[in-house]
Every structure is written in structure tokens, then in C-alpha cells.
Amino acid sequence: MTPPLESRSQPRPTIILLLLLLLPTATHMILGDGAVDQDEQHQITLASCPDKCGNISIPYPFGMKSGCFREGFQVTCNDSFNPHRAYLANSGVYQYIFEEQIRVEPEWSQVWSRSLDITAFELIDISVGKGEVRAYGAFSSMCSQNQTDYLLKNQNMKLGKKISPFLLSTEGNVVIGVGWRVQTRVYSYPWSPSVHGNSWQELILSCLSDLMEPQFLEFATNGSCKGRGCCEAALPEAFPIRELAPSFTVRKNNTLFKTNPCSYAMVVESSWYNFSTPDMYGYEVLPKKYPRGVPFVIDFSIPNGSCPAKGQPPPPDYACVSGNSSCANATSGQGYVCKCWDHYDGNPYIVNGCQDIDECKIRDLYPCTADGICKNKLGGYDCPCKPGMKGDGIKGTCTDKFPATARVILGGIGGIFIIAAISFLILLRKEKKKTREFYEKNGGRTLEKAKFIKLFEKEKLKPIFKSSNFIGKGGFGEVYKGILDNEPVAVKKPISGSVLENEQFANEVIIQSQVIHKNIVRLIGCCLEVEAPILVYEFLCSGSLDDILHGKNKVPLNLGVRLSIAAESADGLVYMHSKTNIKILHGDVKPANILLDDKFVPKISDFGISRLIARDKQHTGSIIGDMSYMDPVYLQTGRLTEKSDVYSFGVVILELISRKKATHSEGSSLVINFLEAYKKERKATHLFDKEIIVTEDLEILDSLTGIAVECLSLDVDQRPSMTDVFNRLFILNQSHKSQLVCEL
């Protein structure tokens, strides 16, 4: 009894009546007891026909008793098992194993062959909605008996000929090969001669698992089916398969027969098989693991006839008898399948089979959020938002209509925002405090008094530290190029923890900032607000002497340029060594630390850096500099003197005249070669760079070698002072210049 529509406009009593009428429906909905009733009543087969075999549902058109199934869909139920097992009883649908013994040595021969019993496919389940059946299929296997003999078992699967409801599902299955040597090929007999001829066709399924060599076995990994112990191939879509026989390639030389005798091939439900390496070892491991076979998927359709054209009467014997259902021509081209409409479920092959789905009970599939009220209806469902809300419960967009609640939410958001802001401020304060602490720790107060040094804020330097500005890396840290106050600069960012703590650092920085010499790279400033102070130097555009001598694009360097580089570098070192108030040693003189400006004027960089770097007092031997240039006496004693710089400079001279890199590796050392050559004949002409060997320059080159050899003396007292070195280089340079003038 439904109240008439106009009753809504009538006075109260009727409305109460209306509510009472609605109430039972509402409780019903909430308790959800309707589903159980519906499922129990849901008929899946013809009247008075059994619908189960064991725990397997058998829906029409499948059936067991005569009159209970459509032709071709018979199922037999074997009650000697518990639970009972169901089999496809269609006489054209079966499998058998074809066995043969193959001998490969001394020559290929078939020892014997036979067909085993025909077996029906055991059913796993039937899904009429999807038009699918799952059943167990056999394995094909190839097992070696010994060095020469194989036992082959080929599964031959037949799903009927010409007119058959069954077809191998191409989407639902894959072909899998497992083992040490298997090329799985699938032979298929096409069901329609008009489609693919009338003989067995080999489907080329590129599935090859070949672990021919025993050592390849280790490449097999669990779960991976990519050709190492396991291979997988999809079935070709445009090739409807009714008959099929996976097979193997037998090869000669059977080295793994004892540990890995068997390989397997199977057509199996997609993503069912998970390869595991023990499956490759031992005899018939997989068939023993899955004695009933492997699950595979069969598509079924009503084989004869097709869906009626629009407006045409259905053919006699039309299968889609349920209301709320539709017909679809089978994609294989033969027959048709019946489907319940969307939002209907059940069996389209029986009268009243397709029933409306109560979507409100399956929220996983049919979403309706907690803010919505789910209402089932025929062929769908509604999910309006709760009273006082607007939006769509299906999309989950229900929101409150009322500004009051909105304000609460806004308030909440505001609160969160304020908390975030406060946290941010606290963090900022902490950061500032840390910045200040670092500043003080690094001797900021002392440095504030120095006139020549700029103190940079870390924010100002931040943009420089990006990878595109990176120019190099040294023992000290990373170097970046940038522009500060309109001046190109090189910024050195030390490895944290490597720099001296406290005032000592500040003092060093002050000393260096006061060093103003044409052959020394100028320290412009530093940033103390970070844990390890950052140093800012003037930027030199031609790179280092190391780049120029040994870099990728070698520039020609005549002797004149080399001499002036040597002399001027020496000048820089002299200046530092002889500064009156405090002597500054370099400690790491090498071509990479001699930078050149646009006119190739050398400037020594990283001066005093070695002193800035904290040295572990216990380990005097913790050497910071480059071993290839390091004074061996300093290495032994751990005492850095000005003569250590002299030694290193000697190596630099050798590199300048030979254009070869000094490397620390013993045997091929540039230094050793020079010293030995010089000891023998007091010259080392064969070691000179070919580019500068000119007869009239040989004298100068020999003198240069002499200076270098003296610098490299192992007796520290025999080494000249830097001043001495500079003077001699200066004279050589001058005489070379005047020589050029004379030639002109």
C-alpha cells in the first residue's frame, strides 16, 4: 500500500503514517538482512535441478542431470572424493598425455611412444557473469633419465572441434616454461578451417628458459620469470585456440641431468604461478606439488547462432532468457554470450536470473561515503548527502552547508596555521641563535676588528652553492664560482669539522687578508655563521697550472711562459716565507694550487689553508697535502718547514719542463726518473717536453733541471731557500727574454 503522492501536502497525521510506513524499510536497510534472503533465493539453475557438486556451484547452462544443461555444457560429479569433484563431460573436451622416450646419443632416436588415458578437465569454478570456467590442466614435462635419454610427456588439450562452447582464454592465461632447458612451443589446431587452415599450427611463443651451463643456475631468482629458470609468454589474441600441445626442444649434451632433470611447460591462469628456484631441482617436483594440475581459464559461449539483429525476433533456442540482460556476439566470431545489465547480477541464462544488485551492501565496489545516505534503486543507486550537507556522496564531496560549522572548520584551520607559524618562529629563533653561536665560535668578534676582511652573511652566499657553479674539489672542501658585490669570486666551502676552531682561525684569516701580493690569491672575506667557516677568494679565470699543463684542451706553452710562471710563483712563495712579523708556510704547493689569471700571471692559492685545517696532534702523520708533491722529510718527521715548500716547488718545476704529471705511484715517478737521469749524466734531456726542446734553449733547460734537483735534495740543508730559487729563476727568465730580443 503506497500512499498517494498528494498526501505530502496533507496535515500531520498522514505524515506520521508515512514515517511509520518508511520505518521498516529503513531498518531493513540498516540491518542488511535482505542480502542473505536474496542470495538464498537466488536461483542459478533450472527448476528442480541440483546446483552444486561438492562445494562447486554449477549454474545453468551447465548442469549435471539430463534436462538440466544445455548441449555441450554437461558436468559430471564424482562422489568418490570428499568434497565431490566436478568434471566437464563434453566428449570433445579432454586432455591426454603423449609420452615418448627420446635418446640423443649416439644419435637421435625415439625409443618408444604412447598415449596415456584420456581425462576430463576437473572444474575449479564457473562464473556465468564473466563467461568463464576455471579448470585444472596437466603439465608437460621433459625429464632426463640419464646422460642420453629423455622422457617427454606432452599434454594435449582439446576444447572441442568446430562447434564447441569452449575456447582457451587468451587474456586469462599465459604460457609458462620452468626448468633448466625448455623452449616452450605451443601447437594449436585452429577450430575453424576458414580462419587458419586445417592443420596444426605452431604458435611461436618466445618463451625460452635456458640454463645450459651449470653455473647459470645461480641467475635463477625467486619470483622472476624472465628466462632464467622460468619463462613466460602471452597467448596470441587473434588466434582462437581449441587444441593445444605445449612442447619442448630436446638438445644434445645433458650435463645437469642429476640435479635438474626436469623442465616443464604449462598453460596456466595469469599470475597464478610464482617461480621458486626449488621447482627446478629434483624429479617431477611440480607435478608432485600440484597433483590435480594447474588452473587455467576457459571462455565459454553459446556456440551456434548469434545475437538477434535490432528489431529482429530472437532465434529459436535463444539462450539469453533472463530479463535485465543483454546479448553480445562472442569476440572469437563464433556464438554469443549473455550478460546481465550493469547493476544487475545473476544468471542471464535462466528466466528471472538477473536481479538488481543492492549496491549499498557492496560499498567497496559502489562507493558512498559516510556523509552520504545510500539508497538502492533498480539498475543503480543514489547516495545523496546527509541533511544539512551539499555535494555528492558517491564522489565523496559532501560538505556542510552551514557557515557556523564552516567557521569551526575555519577556526581549526586557523589554529593549525597559528601553531605552524609559532613553530616556524621558534625554529627561526633557534636558527638565528645557532648562526650567532657559530659566528662567535669562529672568532667573529676578533675578525670584526680586521679592516681588510669582509664578513658575509650566509644568506648572501647561499645562491652560489649550486651544482652549475661547482668548479672543483680539494682536500679542503668544495669550490664554487660566483659573484659577490659585483666581483667574481671563488667560494671555498670546507668539509665540516675540518677547520680549526676558535680564535686561531680568525687570526689566520686576518693574516691572510693582509697578504697582498701580485702572485698570491687574495682572500676577500669569509662567512662565519656556519659550522665550518666559508672562505671567499678572488676568482681567476684561466684555471690552475695543473689544468693548463695536463687538462683536456692543452694550450701550447712556450718556454718563456713556463719560465715566467715558475719565477713569479716563486716570488709569491718568497713573499710569504719572508714576511717579517709571521712566516707563513704553504704546505701543499702543487700545480693545482697555482692559479692563473687571464694574462697567465700565476697566483698561489690555498695559502695557509693547511694551517687552517685542524691537525690531529697525536697523528703528526695525518697528511693533508698531496702525496705526489710532499717533502719526504716532512712525511718522516711531521715537521713542516719552509724547505718542505721548496721541495714541492721542485716537483712543480719538473712538471713545467716535462709536462708530465707527478704521481705518487712508485716506479714510474717523475721525480725518481729525473733524479736518476741527472745522477747519471747531469742532464735529463729525454724527459723534457718535446714542445720546448730547442737547441738554443737546452742550456736554460739544464739549469732549470739543476734548480729542481737541488730543491728535491733529501738533505734539507742542501735545498736552496725560496729566495735563492726565485733569484735564479728570475735570472734565467731575464736571460731567456733577452735571448729572444737578440734573435729578433
Query: Which residues are known to be catalytic?
Result: 588
| 579 in a labelled binding site | no
**Identity (one letter) of the amino acid at 638?**
G
Composition of the chain by helix, strand, coil, percent to 5: 30, 25, 40
CA–CA separation, 272 vs 676, rounded Å? 74
Q: Which is nearer to ligand NAG, 274 or 578 (CB)?
A: 274
Q: Which is nearer to ligand NAG, 273 or 575 (CB)?
A: 273
Which grid cell is 302? Answer: 553459446
In the structure grid, which three cell numbers stand for residue 91, read together? 566428449
Rounded Cα–Cα distance for residues 363 and 536 (Å) = 65
Helix runs in 442-493, H state only: 444-449, 458-461
Three-class secondary structure of residue 425 per DSSP: helix
Strand partners, 77: 86
Cα(219)–Cα(277) distance, integer angstroms? 10
Query: Residue 382 and residue 367: Cα distance in Å, rounded?
Result: 10
- Taking the least distance from each CB to ligand NAG, the nearer of 282 and 391 is 282
**Residue 613 DSSP code:** B
Find where cell 627561526 sits.
428
> Counting beta carbons within 10 angstroms of the beta carbon of residue 239, is it exposed (0 to 12), middle (13 to 18) or buried (19 or more)?
middle
Question: In this complex, which beta carbon is closest to ligand NAG, that of residue 104 or of residue 601?
Answer: 104
Q: How far is the CB of 212 from ligand NAG (least distance, A)?
A: 7
* Cβ pair 490, 471 in contact under 8 A: yes
Q: 168: alpha, beta or left, given left = phi > 0 and alpha = psi -120 to 50?
A: beta
Rule CB under 6 A: which residues touch ligand NAG?
55-56, 71, 78, 80, 83, 125, 145-146, 148-149, 213, 221-222, 253, 255, 272-274, 276-278, 304-307, 309, 317, 322-324, 329, 352, 354-356, 378
Least distance to ligand NAG, CB of residue 326, Å: 8
If the CB atoms of residues 44 and 491 are measured against ligand NAG, the closer one turns out to be 44
What residue number has its CB nearest to ligand NAG? Answer: 323
Distance between CA 468 and CA 466 in Å, rounded? Answer: 6
CB 361, min distance to ligand NAG, A: 14
The grid coordinates of residue 235 equal 597467448
Helix (H) or strand (E) holding 381: strand 380-382
- The number of C-alpha atoms within 13 Å of 42 and in the hemisphere containing its C-beta is 19
Summarize the annotated binding site for ATP as residue ranges: 493
